[in-house]
Amino acid sequence: MERLPTEARAILNLCAVIGRDFSLDLLESAASLDPLGGLETLLDRKFLLERPDERLDFAHHLVRQTVYEGLSVLQRRRLHLSVAEALVDLGQAANNPGEVAFHYRHAGTSHRLLAAQYGVLAGEHLLQSYGFRQAADTFDRTLELLDTLPDAPPDLTRRALQGRGIASESLFDPEGVTGTYRRLQNWARSHGDRPLLLATYSRLTTVLGLLGQQAESNAVLNELLDAIAPGEDALASHVLFDLLERRRLIYNPGHSPDDGQWSRYRPAPSPVADPEADILQLLEPVHAVVPLFEYGWALLVQGQLGEATHVLEAVVDLATETNQPSIASAAYHQLAMTARILGDMEQSQALNDESIAINRAVAGTASELGSMLPRISSGFLALQAGRLDEA
């Protein structure tokens, strides 16, 4: 490397910062001078390899590592900035915001805000592609960065916390769910965002219940009840209030005096008309999914099967539109339970299969746990139908 011409060494330094396997377009855009002469030298001396798809790579990863480690801090910062700006100029920010965020993060303190902005976009992009673990890590790094930027737009923190919460839900991570949504509650409270505060309470109580932490879920429900005063203008959703009343009834210990008398059966009250439209008046679609799911579940528990089916089908559509596969999977399973109660075993099996397929689209323990209940249910359906090998 010491025998390389100055022009070739400058191009090699830039390539080391770009990384492995990069495009000629990116090199040309990021270089401050015409890279042709230096690139030809690097190819001729086998520092770089040219691929047939107009991409370049290092002949060996140790070459890149050695070059990068030999750069001064200021050299690295300036080269990372050049690469970040080149990626944006080439229109790569939409497809690969994570790479843009990475280079801005290493471009020095004056570019931390841009790193945070693209970090949020990168996490949201990973959520859409079901990369939940990577999304959680990306949001964590971005939130750490935002903690050092008191003047950053508050909406960046809100989006990062919301994304981290959804990633935790999809990973079936109760600690991540609780910690993230508590932070989001504090953010909503400090910024006077009452709809978000109510949505976060509702989301937290539902997700904890889905994860089997019913005591914790009920404790959060009580906090939500304390935070809502019936009759306040801010509570525009009849569904949310009806849901809270139904949950309070379902989870009531129900200790009645043992006087030997049978109590008269009291049917559940009629559901709210058009629950989906009602709750969307108060909550954004991404936050409406979870309380709407729980409303469908409550209707199912109280025996209102037709209404429950209608609500849960709406949940599947809304969860799919907002990239919340764990909720869509749970809704499919509840629909399968409803179909089974109604005696339609074939439909129940098909709905369970939909639930299982969504979870298995994501590799790992979380997806296996998420598909456990529908798989058990499918096993019983096969057993009931006499398909013993399948069961």
> For residue range 231-274, what is the model confidence (pLDDT) as tens digits?
454 455 788 778 878 877 877 666 666 667 777 778 889 999 99
Nearest C-alpha neighbor of 30 from the set 4, 56, 2, 69: 56
Please report which helix (H) or strand (E) contains residue 90, including its range.
none
Is the model more confident about 195 or about 120? 120
Is residue 18 one of the residues assigned to a domain?
yes
**Which range, of 99-103, 147-151, 324-328, averages the lowest pLDDT?**
324-328
**Which range, of 57-61, 224-228, 385-389, averages the lowest pLDDT?**
224-228
Of 73, 98, 122, the position where a domain reaches its end is 73
Task: Tell me the CATH number at 345.
Answer: 1.25.40.10
Is residue 302 one of the residues assigned to a domain?
yes
> For residue range 35-81, what is the model confidence (pLDDT) as tens digits?
889 999 999 999 999 888 889 989 898 999 999 999 999 999 999 99
Q: Please state the rounded mean pLDDT for residues 207-234.
A: 68
Is residue 12 one of the residues assigned to a domain?
yes
> For residue range 139-196, what is the model confidence (pLDDT) as tens digits?
999 999 999 999 999 999 999 999 999 899 888 788 898 899 999 999 998 998 888 8
Task: Tell me the CATH number at 34.
Answer: 1.10.10.10
Q: Please state the rounded mean pLDDT for residues 322-330.
A: 86
The DSSP letter of residue 109 is: G
Whether residue 367 is predicted with pLDDT greater than 90 in this model: the reply is no
Is 338 within 8 Å of 309 (Cβ atoms)?
A: yes
Is residue 87 one of the residues assigned to a domain?
no
Task: Please tell me the predicted confidence (pLDDT) of residue 233.
Answer: 46
Instruction: Look over the chain and give the mean of its residue pLDDT values, rounded to a whole number.
Output: 87
Task: Please tell me the predicted confidence (pLDDT) of residue 2.
Answer: 83
Is residue 163 one of the residues assigned to a domain?
no
Is 56 within 8 Å of 22 (Cβ atoms)?
A: yes
Is residue 130 one of the residues assigned to a domain?
no
Task: Please tell me the predicted confidence (pLDDT) of residue 225.
Answer: 66
Is the model more confident about 325 or about 136? 136
Is 167 within 8 Å of 127 (Cβ atoms)?
A: yes
First to last CA, the chain: 65
Nearest C-alpha neighbor of 375 from the set 339, 345, 349, 340: 349
Q: Please state the rounded mean pLDDT for residues 348-361.
A: 86
Q: Please state the rounded mean pLDDT for residues 306-323.
A: 94
For tokens 């906090």, the residue is: 223
Task: Please tell me the predicted confidence (pLDDT) of residue 261.
Answer: 75
> For residue range 4-37, what is the model confidence (pLDDT) as tens digits?
899 999 999 999 999 888 898 999 999 988 988 9
Task: Please tell me the predicted confidence (pLDDT) of residue 230.
Answer: 52
Tell me which residue range forms the domain holding 38. Answer: 1-73
**pLDDT confidence tier of residue 97, bands split at 50, 70 and 90:** very high
Is residue 307 one of the residues assigned to a domain?
yes
**Which range, of 300-314, 322-336, 355-369, averages the lowest pLDDT?**
355-369
Of 38, 73, 108, the position where a domain reaches its end is 73
**Opening angle at CA 323, ends 320 and 325, nearest 5:** 70
Task: Please tell me the predicted confidence (pLDDT) of residue 134.
Answer: 94
What is the number of other CB atoms lying within 10 angstroms of the CB of residue 268?
Answer: 15
Is 107 within 8 Å of 143 (Cβ atoms)?
A: no
The DSSP letter of residue 33 is: S
For tokens 């070059």, the residue is: 67
Is the model more confident about 375 or about 335? 335
**pLDDT confidence tier of residue 121, bands split at 50, 70 and 90:** very high
Of 51, 73, 95, the position where a domain reaches its end is 73
Q: Please state the rounded mean pLDDT for residues 199-207.
A: 81
Task: Please tell me the predicted confidence (pLDDT) of residue 245.
Answer: 81
Domain count across the chain: 2
What is the number of other CB atoms lying within 10 angstroms of the CB of residue 62?
Answer: 9
Is residue 324 one of the residues assigned to a domain?
yes
Q: Please state the rounded mean pLDDT for residues 288-295.
A: 89
Instruction: Give the phi and the psi of residue 344 in degrees, each rounded to 5.
Output: -95, 85
